[in-house]
A and B are shown apart, each in its own frame.
Chain A
Amino acid sequence: MTTMTIAKAINEGLRATLAANPKSLLMGEDIGPLGGVYRVTDGLIGEFGPDRVVDTPLAESGIIGTAIGLALRGYSPVCEIQFDGFVFPGFNQITTQLAKIHSRSSGNLSVPVVIRIPYGGGIGSIEHHSESPEALFAHTAGLRIITPSNPHDAYWMIQQAVECKDPVIIFEPKRRYWLKGDVDVQGPGPSEDPFKAHVLREGTDATVVAYGPLVPVALAAANAAEEDGRSLEVIDLRSISPIDFDTVTASVRKTGRLIVAHEAPTFGGVGGEIAARISERAFHSLEAPVIRVGGFHMPYPVAKVEEDYLPDIDRILEALDRALSY
């Protein structure tokens, strides 16, 4: 067991992948000598050289599109998008090409491209640096989307993503890059299903589902609720596409109440999908409507007011109050 930050865990995961798979390579802007703007690829170019850690021209469509070509030739590219709000020049390549080539080719071609996207707010940055666009990609069939909330998952998920035959987007919670935690580098990481949700804390009064940057918030809310005598079950979703509805359903059957928390706007978001599915699957177990906690229907606001935008402990507890009031 080793203690490291999420950023370091991804770095080590990438190092393990590059060492194990000679056809894997990293692509992105400033990922070479600089090590990426978050230093997630720090030191890798020195170990593996510029053919394996490729500093690309500043062009997101170019990065994704050429990665698709490399994958068609049998390579396993891992692309870094510098910030969430900059993924959109590559949106076309991701949604119309990457997601569909396997289907379009009747299964004859696979494009195992991995795309890393630092996402979410809370870092006091400027426009386009704090967005949560995961629902836009989750809606597109053919993509898999995962998001680690702790170093252990970060270390293993990046390696599992590269091994997956499907395209995988990893949304990395950038405000948690410096969160430290234990990583079991010996395993059982590789055998863990990266698309399975984890019950992080058991409870009886309500279930809180969160992912990525909001998992620590949900755990803190559960601790605060406990002081008030309320027992919250906390689930780390880990995978946004597919969603492990079995784990969520089982929890709701036990607690009878569900709160879904994410930073992205609630309208049209992942939380709405979870609410609808759980309403279908466990309607008779629900004691209250599924309540969503998330961002507002606005562009991500300026940094000076982002604390009012981001769901925090109190917002989750307020949702709990409402759920318990039925």
Chain B
Amino acid sequence: MGTHLPSTEFDGTAVDDQREADAEAVLGEPAAHMVQLLGPDGKLGADPVFSNYADKLTPEALRGLYADMAAIRRFDVEATALQRQGQLALWVPLTGQEAAQIGSGRASQPQDYIFPTYREHGVALTRNVDLAELLRQFRGVSNGGWNPKDTNFHLYTLVLAAQTLHAVGYAMGIQRDQKLAAATGAAGKEPDAAVIAYFGDGASSEGDVHESMVFASSYNAPVVFFCQNNHWAISVPSNVQTRVPLSNRAKGYGFPGIRVDGNDVIAVHAVTEWALEHARRGKGPVLIEAFTYRVGAHTTADDPTKYRESAEEDAWRAKDPLARLEKYLSAEGLADDAFFAKVKADGDELAAYVRRTAHDLEDPDIRQSFANVYAEAHPLVAEELAWFEEYSAGFAGEEESAGQAAKAGH
């Protein structure tokens, strides 16, 4: 693989010009081409653009980022255990990606709308989605689980990359809302909004990601594409999916692309805040590539020992997002032992709540499925429901007899 790849110059922003990376950086340590503020050693560095954003984080906000990351990791452990105990059909773990999710989610504003893929449990936490409700899909009692209108956090999408187009369309809707508001004299009454579309390095190979970036660029839509490059699309490594850093692809569409250390929550927060401001100000889309790692399996049905070396996992564990922020908070005197003890206790309480609540999620009635196929009345659905009711009624006597027999000890 050569050290220099042909590329074009993007002159839209000084930020992007600094991020030229060569192909060697795809899997290696791309320090020279990646925004990093908080290193694995827990020491805070500087960046000419993004330090200004990081400086806005108060000690309380930094402690909050740590608490969120710890909470979602504890949740992840609990959900994995629930799956192993047969309480969930499947689980999609996020361990290793806490900084990418908490940092980006906390950088969003309530008016922003977020389209996740299916691993964004940390982003869900930052949007106040009830994590027990989030398990409804994985427990098999719903294909969703929460009302996106309550939190501006969309439902999970299992078909890879489909949601990136929805995100761009939604962003085009925001643009139109602004124009309608201007036409009716209502401009400025609502805060400007943007959209974040999450996807992974594996999904970046899907055609919908390409089309979403074409549309976003064509219409200058206020959307931030947030790619978590966790290095593995189940068993396929990222170097099979791309020959250049994924952030470089933005150049081809004509908007900025930034690679950020996805295990550095401060840098992720800063970069995402910059990108969202860029989008909200009408300057168009941004692609963020959060360079991170899926420490565990793709899902609980996966076995990463079959396709990757444990040494690789160990190397990434040394860059752990929680450990580095803990070092920083401790070294700077921003958090004490009591704080970390409380975070741990809060995590255990969250885990207990999630376990208890998930257990108690009621199995749905299939009548609810009939009710939601269409928004308006539909004769076929009505006919099939009527048949089902009649069919079910035929068992009513049997169920009663079975219940009486059970009571009688038969």
A residues lining the B interface (CB < 8 Å): 22-23, 25, 51, 56-57, 59, 61-62, 64-75, 77, 89, 92-93, 96-97, 100-110, 112, 141-142, 144, 164-166, 195, 241-246
Contact = CB atoms under 8 A, between A and B. Distances in A.
A74 B173 contact: yes
The secondary structure that dominates the B interface is helix
Interface in B145-174: 147-149, 154-155, 157, 159, 162, 164-174
B212 interface: yes
Given A57-B218, A62-B214, A69 B374 contact: no
A27 to B, nearest CB: 9
B165 A109 contact: no
A142 B211 contact: no
B162 A97 contact: yes
B20 interface: no
Contacts of B173: 69-70, 72-75
Contact of B147 (A105, A142, A244): A105
Interface string B264-303: 0000000000000000000000000000000000000000
Interface string B313-341: 00000000000000000000000000000
B380 interface: yes
A70 B369 contact: no
B369 A103 contact: yes
A92 B162 contact: yes
Given A97-B157, A97-B166, 5 more contacts: A65-B162, A89-B207, A93-B165, A102-B373, A103-B373
Interface of B: 142-144, 147-149, 154-155, 157, 159, 162, 164-174, 176-177, 179-180, 207-208, 211-212, 214-215, 218, 368-369, 371-376, 378-381
B258 to A, nearest CB: 23
A200 to B, nearest CB: 21
A72 B148 CA distance: 10
Contact of B374 (A66, A166, A246): A166
B203 to A, nearest CB: 13
B334 to A, nearest CB: 40
Which of A57, A89, A241 has the most CB atoms of chain B within a 10 A radius of its CB?
A57
Contacts of B176: 23, 25, 51, 70, 73, 75
Nearest to A244: B379
Contacts of A100: 143
Given A69-B166, A72-B166, A72-B170, A51 B373 contact: no
B179 A51 contact: yes
A194 to B, nearest CB: 11
B166 A106 contact: no
B165 A69 contact: yes
B276 to A, nearest CB: 17
A43 B344 CA distance: 65
A65 B375 contact: no
A65 B378 CA distance: 25
Contacts of B215: 56-57, 59, 62, 66
B162 A73 contact: no
A77 B215 CA distance: 15
B172 A92 contact: no
Given A61-B211, A70-B172, A103 B143 contact: yes
A121 B373 CA distance: 32
Contacts of A69: 165-173
A124 B383 CA distance: 41
A104 B208 contact: no
Given A57-B214, A107-B372, A68 B166 contact: yes
